[in-house]
Amino acid sequence: DTVRNDRPEDLAWQADKNHFIHPYTDFTTFEREGSQVISEASGVTVTDTDGRTYIDAIAGLWCINLGHGRTEIADAMGKQASRLAYFNTFGHSTNVPASLLAAKLAERAPGPLNHVFYSTGGSTANDTAVRLIHYYFNRLGKHAKKKIISRNDGYHGSTYFASALTGIHGVHLGFDRISQDIVHHVSAANLYRRPQGMDEAQFCDFLVDELQQRIHQLGAENVAAFIAEPVMGAGGVLVAPAGYHRRVAQICRENEILYIADEVVTGFGRLGHWFASEDRFGHVPDVIVSAKGISSGYCPLGATLFSDAIHDVIAVPQAPGGLLSHGFTYSGHPVSCAAALATIDIIERDNVLGHVREVGPYLQARLKELMRHEVVGDVRGDHLMAGIELVRDRAGRVNFAPELGAAHKVFTAARKRGVIVRPVGNVIVLSPPLVLGKADIDRIVDTLHEALAEVS
């Protein structure tokens, strides 16, 4: 009864409800009231067809890093689409934006990561990482090296293999899990939920020991790679204990296990650097997976960056005249690559990385104030990634039952006040556009205070 036939926004919503299968959605509760049809956006705000404007504190979905309505990016895409919208890059054909972008990515990635395979997003970029790593070990004659160690609560995407890498329990409910012989999960580096009585350093030892034992159990000769997000995102914004990534990388090296850093969220400035692995966590992975912020979300793009050592093996065909038989129609799509080149130009021209290093700590510091609400058990994050975990019992770190939708209530209360955050389980996630200012941060935090007070 809230849907009217004479309102275009209602007709759009109805068409959507009838025909559009949304990602990650409960269709039984999908009603006009509480839904939004986002129709325009500018800077750090989005506007819906009902004329309401919100601060987008999640950058679309961890991706509109340079903010909405950037005509420079749109113009670069438009120009490229008019000049050459598409031609394939299979074989020895290429295009200018894809080539220039590959060089720019190599320059900005850690030392030996000089070779990029393009895809269409984070899931396909992760699939590419694993498929080519398997190929690499085959080429070395190490045919048994196939297993991948991932982590509980890690999120790596929704293609069939990327979903197998994903370690979030709820994501698998009702679905089949393929590749269980290949993918093995170890504990999440969840400091808040670490075993009782352990300090941060002991927890790090615990995680490192667990990994070592798992490698031993599986046999290092059977393990191809370890995959991890530098800071877990969709799993609840989990920052690993100090030194964790460096120590894990060392163990991987000792066992000839390749380290895949899934920087789909952490890359392109969210943690104040082009990539977080080296500059933030002090290690150089063998493979970096990038998407989302790489094109500031203006066009779908994934990039898997490989080290010289891997490239030098996979670049040689199995037999004379053979091919590296992997690729997507849209690998190196000129319009997506033009969006990425414009993104890189703006990040450099406007010193966006420096800006994130300034406002990131401010966001984290202000969010800590939310601990004054009894329902907040933990506030954590790094620069412009943050998670606020809600608990029913703070001392016991007991979560609310999922059916209570505690984080969803905070989301609704915040949205009513003009700020969009993201509820993920019992965690409220923030990943705002990198270009937000301190006044925007104040507005977000003040709104969360009010929203938490309302639901407490």
CB 448 within 8 A of CB 376: no
Q: Of the two residues 40 and 279, which places its CB atom closer to ligand PLP in the complex? A: 279
Q: Is 407 in the site for ligand PLP (CB under 6 A)?
A: no
Which residues does 27 contact at the CB level (< 8 Å), separation at least 6?
A: none
Q: Of the two residues 76 and 264, which places its CB atom closer to ligand PLP in the complex? A: 264
Q: Which stretch binds ligand PLP (CB under 6 A): 211-219, 261-269, 417-425, 438-446?
A: 261-269
Q: Which stretch binds ligand PLP (CB under 6 A): 98-106, 150-158, 211-219, 397-405?
A: 150-158
Q: Of the two residues 95 and 124, which places its CB atom closer to ligand PLP in the complex? A: 124
CB 222 within 8 A of CB 146: yes
Q: Of the two residues 168 and 452, which places its CB atom closer to ligand PLP in the complex? A: 168
Q: Is 155 in the site for ligand PLP (CB under 6 A)?
A: yes
Cα 444 to Cα 347: distance, rounded to the nearest angstrom:
23
Q: How far is the CB of 419 from ligand PLP (least distance, A)?
A: 21
Q: Is 123 in the site for ligand PLP (CB under 6 A)?
A: yes
Q: Is 234 in the site for ligand PLP (CB under 6 A)?
A: yes
Site string for ligand PLP, 264-303 (x = CB under 6 A): xx-------------------------x------------
Q: Of the two residues 356 and 445, which places its CB atom closer to ligand PLP in the complex? A: 356
Cα 153 to Cα 238: distance, rounded to the nearest angstrom:
9
For ligand PLP, which residue of 157, 267, 297, 381 counts as binding (CB under 6 A)?
A: 157
SS3 sequence of 77-111: HHHHHHHCCCCCCCCCCCCHHHHHHHHHHHHHCCC
Q: Of the two residues 301 and 376, which places its CB atom closer to ligand PLP in the complex? A: 301
Residue nearest to ligand PLP (CB): 122
CB 98 within 8 A of CB 118: yes
Q: Is 121 in the site for ligand PLP (CB under 6 A)?
A: yes
Phi-psi sector, 433: left (phi>0), alpha (psi -120 to 50), beta: beta
Q: Is 386 in the site for ligand PLP (CB under 6 A)?
A: no
Name the residue type at position 366.
Answer: R
Q: Of the two residues 132 and 264, which places its CB atom closer to ligand PLP in the complex? A: 264
Q: Is 80 in the site for ligand PLP (CB under 6 A)?
A: no
405: how many CB neighbours lie within 10 A of its CB?
A: 16
Q: Which stretch binds ligand PLP (CB under 6 A): 142-150, 167-175, 227-235, 431-439?
A: 227-235
Q: Of the two residues 3 and 171, which places its CB atom closer to ligand PLP in the complex? A: 171
Name the residue type at position 90.
Answer: F
Q: Is 229 in the site for ligand PLP (CB under 6 A)?
A: yes
Interface size with ligand PLP, residues (CB under 6 A): 14
Q: How far is the CB of 330 from ligand PLP (least distance, A)?
A: 13
Q: How far is the CB of 63 from ligand PLP (least distance, A)?
A: 8
Site string for ligand PLP, 183-222 (x = CB under 6 A): ----------------------------------------
For ligand PLP, which residue of 70, 145, 146, 156 counts as binding (CB under 6 A)?
A: 156
Q: Of the two residues 102 and 231, which places its CB atom closer to ligand PLP in the complex? A: 231
Q: Of the two residues 25 and 53, which places its CB atom closer to ligand PLP in the complex? A: 25
Separation in Å, CA 59 to CA 64, 335, 374, 434, 436: 5, 21, 28, 8, 10
The encoded tokens of residue 176 equal 């089949």
The encoded tokens of residue 392 equal 């029913």
What is the sign, positive or negative, of the torsion defined by CA atoms of 13, 15, 18, 19?
Answer: negative
For ligand PLP, which residue of 60, 122, 269, 423 counts as binding (CB under 6 A)?
A: 122
Q: Residue for token digits 């939004």?
A: 36
Q: Of the two residues 229 and 440, which places its CB atom closer to ligand PLP in the complex? A: 229
Q: Which stretch binds ligand PLP (CB under 6 A): 26-34, 262-270, 360-368, 440-448?
A: 262-270
- Contact positions toward ligand PLP, by CB under 6 A? 121-123, 126, 155-157, 229, 233-234, 262, 264-265, 291
